[in-house]
Amino acid sequence: GCVLVVSVIEQLAQWHNSTVKAAMERLCNYIPGKYQIIHHMLCCYCYREMNADVVCHSLKLCKQDPGQPLCHLYAPPKVSWFSTFFKATDCGSFTGFSSVCAFPLLANLCEKIKYVMRHKLPFEDFDGDKFSTFPTLRGYHWRGRDCNDKNTTVYPGRRPDNWDVKSDSNCNGIWGVDPKDGIPYEEKFCKGADSQGVVLLGDSAGAHFHIPPEWMTVMQMSAKSFANLPMAFTDELDWPQFSEITGFLNSTIGGWTDSLYLRLRRRNRCNHRDLQNISQNGITYFPTNTAVYLSFSLARSQLLDNPAIVIYATIGNDVCNGNRDTLAHMTTPKEMLSNVMQALRYLDSRLPKGSHVILTGLVDGRFLWDNLHDRYHPLGQLNRDITYSQIYSFLDCLQVSPCSGWLTPNETLRNLTSERALQLSNVLKEIARSEKFANFDIFYMDFPLRQTAEEWHKMGGEPWQLIEPVDGFHPSQIAAALGTRITWQKVLHEWPQVLGRENPFNDQIEAIFKDQGGH
């Protein structure tokens, strides 16, 4: 992080033909007030123009452990590292995330982030029903918006209470009685309509991890570039509101939004707000403590709630890690089988009867290196000096690579990683073929990367545009939207019972909404 920030400051100075100090002040002015910690981090950089790696080692944000290589993104300085560091020893040190949280203006926010990441629940949830009226901090960007945060029996996804004659108990906006015939609107429009929600249990791809490229592309940088920084930070750099499964807002990060939730809502307007994105950056497919993880996070009652379509998809983390001996840290087929079955048994104890579970196979991540390694990273576009291959090597050296097995010039290792991913996908495929559960049926589908690339090629696009530009690892907004279309077509043609019937009253519901001003 330090190397990236210092690099941006250096490039800002170059782009605006200014001093480094002026560039740092410019960047500070771009960033919303309470996030202006850069000045504290880089005080000595104003007076001593140094390589970004040298600055960060001098501040002790980067270090070289005994017996480990010296990790650097840029070419080493002409003089020795030792003498360069020695000259910078008066810069002080900055000891990492705990010190960031020591800043008074950030301390409270850090505590909120830690709570949210630990529990995967909305931070602001006054009635404790796992739904919120606040967007970020695991609020309604992640789950349907609560319509009464003072009543634990009112939340998205429940079956209506007495057909919602007096109030909207399931937050789908449909309640009251039609004065023409005395029939409750919920009964008239939603009875027998196969209402159901969508739940994603996933990883950072499902959460839709994204770092805006304009944050580090100085040619595009302005105060407007960082306007979304507070929201992004409090959503863990995830954008579930635009994601493939639970997206519901128009994308502001490029591409367009298309999601399984939006399509289910169009198919049946009674499904409004019934969504949950229970994804976590870095989670493996089915961790050994899955039951605990789900019991904390999943909001579904067999007695009170509608059925749900559960998409269980962590598309790479079981083979992706940042360890030097990456193969030894991959999930084995035996572990996969055990953990998946544990998770499915728990779901069978919680999901209402008539639910569906779709297991998604792992991606073939060789696509990443093949399409990005020789392209310039956003940080290297100004001087055409930093490729994705260099970024991957830098992260791998630091042992924080999102996937050492795929983001590597070692073709043999890339192939072995894909081989393990295929083995784990075959475990999921066999489970879907052979296992039966009381409260849901179960299906398997391959991750549709090949079909997505083919569809995008037909539209005139390039393969690299399907990958997040900053991290060079996650699916982009375009990939998410196209993936939705492909997934929907497959389910519609092969398992139409999963999607339920199309509600013939959708137009009437929308017409009443317009007449009543959207209420």
CB-based contacts of 63: which residues, under 8 Å, 6+ apart?
A: 57
pLDDT of residue 111: 76
Residue 31, pLDDT > 70, answer yes
What does the pLDDT look like over 291-319, one tens digit per residue? 566 768 999 999 999 999 999 998 999 99
Residue 86, pLDDT > 50, answer no
Q: Which domains does the chain have, with CATH numbers?
A: 1-62 (no CATH), 197-508 (3.40.50.1110)
pLDDT of residue 292: 61
State whether residue 360 is helix, strand or coil. Answer: strand
What does the pLDDT look like over 141-184, one tens digit per residue? 999 999 999 999 999 999 999 999 999 999 999 999 999 999 99
Task: Note whether 350 and 299 are within 8 A (CB).
Answer: no
- Of 412, 320, 395, nearest in space to 365 by CA: 320
Single-letter amino acid code for the residue at 435: E
Percent above pLDDT 70 for the chain: 88
Among the ranges given (7-21, 51-65, 346-360), the one the predictor scored with the smallest mean pLDDT: 51-65
pLDDT of residue 1: 85
Q: Which residue has the higher pLDDT, 408 or 295?
A: 408
Residue 99, pLDDT > 60, answer no
pLDDT of residue 239: 98
158 phi/psi in degrees, rounded to 5: -85, 160
Beta strands in 386-460 (DSSP E): 440-445
Confidence grade of residue 58 (pLDDT, cut at 50, 70, 90): confident
> Which pair of structure tokens corresponds to residue 304?
């009170």
What does the pLDDT look like over 248-269, one tens digit per residue? 999 999 999 999 999 999 999 9
* Active-site entry in 58, 132, 204, 476: 204
Mean pLDDT of 509-513: 87
Rounded Cα–Cα distance for residues 501 and 193 (Å): 7
Residue 96, pLDDT > 60, answer no
Q: Which residue has the higher pLDDT, 311 or 55?
A: 311
pLDDT of residue 387: 96
- Rounded mean pLDDT of the chain? 90
What are the angstrom distances between the C-alpha of 96 and each of 1, 2, 31, 111, 254? 10, 10, 20, 15, 32
- Of 238, 420, 426, 463, nearest in space to 318 by CA: 420
> Which pair of structure tokens corresponds to residue 435?
């296992």
18 among known catalytic residues: no
> Which pair of structure tokens corresponds to residue 343?
């998770």
Residue 289, pLDDT > 70, answer no
Q: Which residue has the higher pLDDT, 88 or 352?
A: 352
pLDDT of residue 97: 46
Confidence grade of residue 92 (pLDDT, cut at 50, 70, 90): low
Mean pLDDT of 322-349: 94
Percent above pLDDT 90 for the chain: 74
Mean pLDDT of 331-337: 95
Confidence grade of residue 2 (pLDDT, cut at 50, 70, 90): confident
What does the pLDDT look like over 413-471, one tens digit per residue? 999 999 999 999 999 999 999 999 999 999 999 999 999 999 999 999 999 999 999 99
Task: Note whether 186 and 160 are within 8 A (CB).
Answer: yes
Q: What DSSP string describes 21-56?
A: HHHHHHHHHHS-GGG--HHHHTGGGGTS---HHHHH
pLDDT of residue 47: 44
pLDDT of residue 457: 98
Residue 517, pLDDT > 90, answer no
Helices (H), 318-403: 333-350, 366-372, 388-397
Partners of residue 359 on adjacent β-strands:
312, 444
CB atoms < 10 A from the CB of 293, how many? 19
Task: Note whether 175 and 251 are within 8 A (CB).
Answer: no
Mean pLDDT of 382-407: 95
